[in-house]
């Protein structure tokens, strides 16, 4: 997925032979401060740290990804996108809460292990799909990447994630549609392989039975709500289920049956 690139700066203080202190600022370059002017050194260092933290906060708050920072097992920061994703109206609904409260039980163990690796080994963990829980308890699927950081002077973990529920749903729908088309092709092939009508119907209904993993299947003819009678010329069922026991018997088309047939004909998808 598309992500912003974040740059984390460690300010390193050094003292040279001339008793001068050096530290790096990402925008102003190298700054040299006399050692004896400790108050000014501290002020400049604090200002650099504050500026760096402010730039980080602005960058994170403007990120299109949801971002949460947690430390010691509790959430300490969330950006606006994260609040929206968890259906929170204010950050206080999330900040201070245990991290695992919002992780689906199926993923709590692996999330705990990933956090341990990041904190102990200072490693960025790989991209992973997980499930999170909103404030109302509803679940959603996310694509997550996380890394260890120092936040407000303490070891922490920054997690960036995107809600992929819609993407997953679209993928499942696409697979279901492909499967449906393949099933239709199997039925079409079954109907074309036989010249005898009765054998052809048997083969078609058996193919339908197998594709949809049915308990029972039968063919109703004619599928016409205006017909006075319909028949079941062929059926198939599992041994543990009884059949319709109406093979080749005229079945009166009652108003209820006519209504059902009309709805079946009007429906575009399998039912």
Token readout for 126 is 């790989």
Please give the Cα distance from 30 to 258 (Å, whole number).
86
**Residue 145: pLDDT above 50?**
yes
Q: Roughly what angle, to the nearest 10 degrees, separates helices 197-211 and 165-192? A: 160
Report the candidate in 164, 172, 107 with the shortest Cα–Cα distance to residue 141.
164
Report the candidate in 24, 29, 76 with the shortest Cα–Cα distance to residue 49.
24
What's the confidence (pLDDT) of residue 202? Answer: 83
Distances (CA, A) of 206 to 18, 188, 213, 239: 92, 13, 10, 14
- Mean pLDDT computed over 131-139: 95
Distances (CA, A) of 247 to 252, 253, 266: 14, 16, 26
Token readout for 152 is 């407000």
Please give the Cα distance from 49 to 211 (Å, whole number).
64
Token readout for 6 is 């974040």
**pLDDT-derived band at 189, boundaries 50, 70, 90:** confident
**Which residue's entry shows tokens 């790989």?**
126
- Mean pLDDT computed over 191-208: 81
Please give the Cα distance from 120 to 75 (Å, whole number).
19
Please give the Cα distance from 270 to 85 (Å, whole number).
34
**pLDDT-derived band at 192, boundaries 50, 70, 90:** confident
Strand partners, 71: 74
The fraction of the chain above a pLDDT of 90, given in percent, is 36
Please give the Cα distance from 78 to 82 (Å, whole number).
6
Q: For all residues of the chain together, what is the average pLDDT? A: 80
- Mean pLDDT computed over 99-123: 94
Residue 118 has a CB neighbour count (10 Å cut-off) of: 21
- Mean pLDDT computed over 160-171: 90
Q: What is the pLDDT of residues 205-229, one digit of tens each?
A: 888 888 878 888 888 888 889 999 9
Please give the Cα distance from 44 to 40 (Å, whole number).
6
Strand partners, 132: 103, 140
Please give the Cα distance from 133 to 205 (Å, whole number).
44
**Residue 21: pLDDT above 80?**
no
Token readout for 227 is 């017909």
DSSP-derived letter for residue 2 is: -
């Amino acid at each position: 997925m598309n992500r912003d690139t974040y740059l984390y700066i460690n300010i390193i203080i050094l003292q040279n032979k001339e008793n001068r202190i050096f530290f790096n600022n990402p925008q102003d370059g190298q700054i040299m401060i006399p050692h004896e002017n400790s108050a000014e050194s501290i002020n400049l260092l604090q200002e650099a740290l504050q500026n760096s933290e402010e730039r980080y906060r602005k960058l994170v708050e403007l990120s299109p990804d949801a971002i949460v920072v947690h430390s010691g097992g509790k959430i300490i920061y969330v950006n606006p996108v994260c609040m929206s994703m968890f259906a929170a109206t204010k950050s206080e609904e999330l900040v201070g809460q245990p991290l695992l409260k919002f992780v689906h039980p199926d993923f709590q163990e692996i999330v705990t292990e990933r956090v341990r690796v990041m904190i102990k080994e200072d490693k960025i963990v790989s991209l992973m799909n997980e499930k999170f829980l909103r404030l109302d308890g509803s679940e959603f699927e996310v694509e997550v990447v996380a890394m260890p950081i120092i936040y407000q002077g303490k070891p922490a973990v920054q997690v960036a994630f995107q809600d992929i529920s819609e993407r997953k749903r679209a993928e499942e729908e696409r697979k279901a549609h492909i499967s449906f088309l393949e099933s239709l092709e199997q039925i079409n092939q079954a109907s074309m392989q036989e010249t005898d009508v009765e054998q052809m119907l048997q083969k078609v209904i058996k193919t339908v039975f197998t594709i949809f993993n049915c308990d029972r299947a039968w063919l109703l003819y004619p599928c016409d709500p205006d017909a006075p009678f319909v028949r079941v010329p062929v059926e198939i069922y599992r041994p543990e289920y009884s059949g319709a026991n109406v093979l080749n018997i005229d079945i009166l088309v009652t108003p209820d049956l006519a209504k059902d047939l009309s709805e079946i004909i009007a429906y575009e998808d399998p039912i």
